[in-house]
């Protein structure tokens, strides 16, 4: 949600910037190459990625590492636990778990990783839990 709030205005600015470059190239009357990624659009993309990382660290990674749950998991009485120690995962495992959940989700293949738990035995782990050696307990 926080990332979307940052992505909309910066995405709009990036699209306007690219459109202005295209319009200027058309008005010049010459054939010109218009790059979609330049210093301006790269900066906007960097801001959105920074917001995504910061929000992920603050909402998902740190609470999972400290308490084994986020606010959403607390509301549903769920906890993330390490497979071997049955304690909350370490920071590195919590970060790996979040990254393996988020990156495929951004690429559009995350639904396969999340649905994986429907067929996995015996832990019913999704890809992000397999990567972090964790499981979700109720």
The pLDDT profile of the chain, 138 residues, written as one tens digit per residue, is: 777 888 899 889 999 999 999 999 899 988 888 898 999 999 999 999 999 999 999 999 999 999 999 999 999 999 999 999 999 999 999 999 999 999 998 888 989 998 998 999 888 899 999 999 999 998
Please tell me the distance from the alpha carbon of residue 135 to that of residue 110, in angstroms, as a whole number: 18
Helix, coil or strand: residue 53: helix
Helix, coil or strand: residue 134: strand
The pair of three-digit structure tokens given for residue 22, joined into one six-digit string: 């295209």
The pair of three-digit structure tokens given for residue 85, joined into one six-digit string: 């120690």
pLDDT of amino acid 75 = 97
């Amino acid at each position: 949600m926080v990332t979307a709030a940052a992505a909309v205005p910066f995405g709009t600015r990036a699209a306007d910037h690219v459109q202005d470059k295209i319009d200027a190239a058309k008005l010049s009357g010459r054939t010109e190459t218009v790059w979609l990624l330049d210093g301006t659009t790269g900066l906007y993309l960097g801001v959105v990625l920074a917001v995504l990382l910061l929000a992920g660290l603050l909402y998902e990674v740190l609470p999972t590492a400290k308490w084994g749950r986020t606010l959403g998991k607390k509301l549903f009485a769920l906890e993330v636990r390490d497979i071997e120690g049955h304690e909350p995962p370490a920071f590195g495992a919590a970060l790996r778990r979040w990254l393996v959940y988020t990156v495929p989700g951004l690429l559009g293949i995350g639904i396969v990783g999340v649905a994986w738990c429907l067929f996995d035995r015996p832990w019913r782990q999704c890809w992000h839990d397999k990567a972090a050696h964790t499981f979700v307990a109720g």
